[in-house]
A and B are shown apart, each in its own frame.
Chain A
Amino acid sequence: MAELSGAVPDYDHEIVPPGRRAHFWRRVAFTPNGAFGLAVVIVLIASAGLADLITPYSPIKMGVGPRFLPPNGAYLLGTDEFGRDLFTRIVYGSRLTLMIGAIAVGISLTVGILVGLIAAYRGGWTETILMRGTDVLFSFTETLIALACVAVLGPSLKNAMIAVGIAGIPFYARTCYSAALVERSKPYFEATIAAGAGPLRLLFLHLLPNVLPTMIVVATLGLSAAILAAAGLSFLGLGAQPPDPEWGAMLSGARDYFNRAPYLMVIPGLAIAVTVLGFNLLGDAIRTALDPREGSE
């Protein structure tokens, strides 16, 4: 799990925002990594959006087929211990996975940006308290924070999303803080203060738009960590509960049958791995396309 997975690649280079660079997406999509990542993400979004159309059965209703049927023509990926179609459950699972990733990252991103911006803008005691606090939380690792949150809130899919979201805050706060410090030292910022702009205008109309591109790149990479973390919680039984077709929970359920039906365990795991790999490669490709240091070498 980054943390829970520990999947924290190095972000310490300066990131040049998209938009300022011509043909940015072309540069991402024409690298092998970027193309693969983009393809995975597109397939994921399509299967989440079209789940009702492309699946032949219900993801939750039991006994749509025989139990433990290995992959075959009628049940593409086989059936599980309750005679549910695994393909259908995997496709619906993509919907849950995207939702979990989006909500968790949304929480981390919103709070992280606020903390980072305020710390960088206010300076002084506010900065010390906010950033030291962030350091303290950061040293706990996301796993422990998420676990503590679930311990307080109780195990459920909703709480797992909140827990993973809270656990990610320190990381986003740190990244936003360093990006905002860079912006604060630029001449335009001083000019805006001299022109008499108030704190809210400075924070939300000047700092925020300038850190946002960096934060969006970071969030693409963060999505993979959040998805992995939430799947880990569900695997432990602390997140999504049966009969939800969540991949981590499905993997956990398959443990009892792994002699009899190893495909029940292999397939959801592959789904998580490919999804996380897709977001990692896409994020990495975006970062490389934006990093002035890499391409020139």
Chain B
Amino acid sequence: MWRFLGGRIAMGALTIFVTTIAVTLLIHLVPGDPVQIMYAQSQGTTPEQLEEIRHNLGLDQPIYIQYVRFVGRLFQGDLGYTIRGHQPVLDVILQRLPNTIALAVAAMAVAILIGLPIGFFAAYKRGTMVDTGLMVVAIAGVSVPHFWLGLVLLLFFAVELGWLPVSGTGPLNLVLPAVTLGLSNAAIVARMTRSSMMDIMRQDFVRTAEAKGLPKSVILSRHVLRAGLIPVITMMGLQFAFMMGGAIVVENIFAWNGVGRMAVEAIFQRDYPVIQGFILTFAVVVVFVSILLDGVYALVDPRIRRS
């Protein structure tokens, strides 16, 4: 088990290491002069001021020195300052990150509560019209753009019926974005659950259980569901990353004050320190959650726990 977890942690560390390099290079990949582009929107910056900014950002140094400095500052919790407003990037991110994580977790709950039973039921009814019907619904669910679904839900529940607030950041405001993001991922969870359960149903131990005359409900709940959930747990890590990615769009629809909305604004404003901070935060959160889920997986699956 420790070997398994050690491998996962090493992979996570590698991911974050690669991200720090990518983030340092990012600013140099911008076509043209990044300093001029960043300040193109603020009028009346003199060439001398641009040089000073370049020096302050360390962009006049060789790239490996920039990298070492970047990582050094990172260990001190310093992600630099925003171009607009000159605030510490870390503060700006930490202020919004809880909102994004709340959205991702709530959406994940919606996705699992809807997707898991549907997938399980479809696997149980495999090969029947019910199964086919449910899977067509799931494909349709994957196909609906969540930015559109969000707008339609907004139009209906917030504007027409007035049951929920249109935009903002608060507990009631969380409902529509979480449902939007959750519904489009429920379809993916349903498909994964179905194929995982179907794999288990083909196993010999299920046939043995059937042969010894166990009632179908016991076979399903005690044997199939428990074994079939294990692969689903591993897939949750990727699902969480999808939620974080989806949150970028959904936050923008509902004016939910999270890091995704901040990132899109930063792209428009060419605020590169914020973009760098966002990418790094995203990587750290995703890596952390996936290691956490791998830990759960290792505890739940006896084949790994005892290895």
Contacts and interface: CB of A to CB of B under 8 A. Distances in A.
Contacts of A139: 15, 238, 241, 286-287, 290
B230 interface: no
Nearest to A37: B139
B257 interface: no
A97 B267 CA distance: 24
| Secondary structure of the B contact surface, majority rule | helix
A262 B11 contact: no
Interface in B247-266: 248-249, 252, 263-264, 266
Contacts of B22: 148
Interface residues of B, number: 55
A5 B146 CA distance: 8
A151 interface: yes
A272 B148 contact: yes
Interface in A116-172: 132-133, 135-136, 139-144, 147-148, 150-155
Given A6-B242, A235-B147, A132 B159 contact: no
Contacts of B252: 236
A273 interface: yes
A136 B148 contact: no
A269 B152 contact: yes
A144 B282 contact: yes
Interface in B13-57: 14-15, 18-19, 22, 26, 29-31
Interface of B: 11, 14-15, 18-19, 22, 26, 29-31, 126-127, 136, 139-140, 142-148, 151-152, 155, 159, 184-185, 188, 191-192, 195, 238-239, 241-242, 244-246, 248-249, 252, 263-264, 266-268, 272, 275, 279, 282-283, 286-287, 290
B139 A140 contact: no
Q: How large, as a class, is the contact surface on chain A?
A: 35 or more
Contacts of B185: 6
A276 interface: yes
B29 A152 contact: yes
Interface of A: 1-10, 33, 132-133, 135-136, 139-144, 147-148, 150-155, 224, 228, 231-232, 235-238, 248, 251, 255, 258-259, 262, 265-266, 268-269, 272-274, 276-277, 280-281, 284, 297
Contacts of B267: 147, 150-151, 155, 238
Contacts of A235: 145, 147, 249
Given A140-B286, A144-B279, A297 B148 contact: no
Contact of B191 (A10, A142, A154, A274): A10
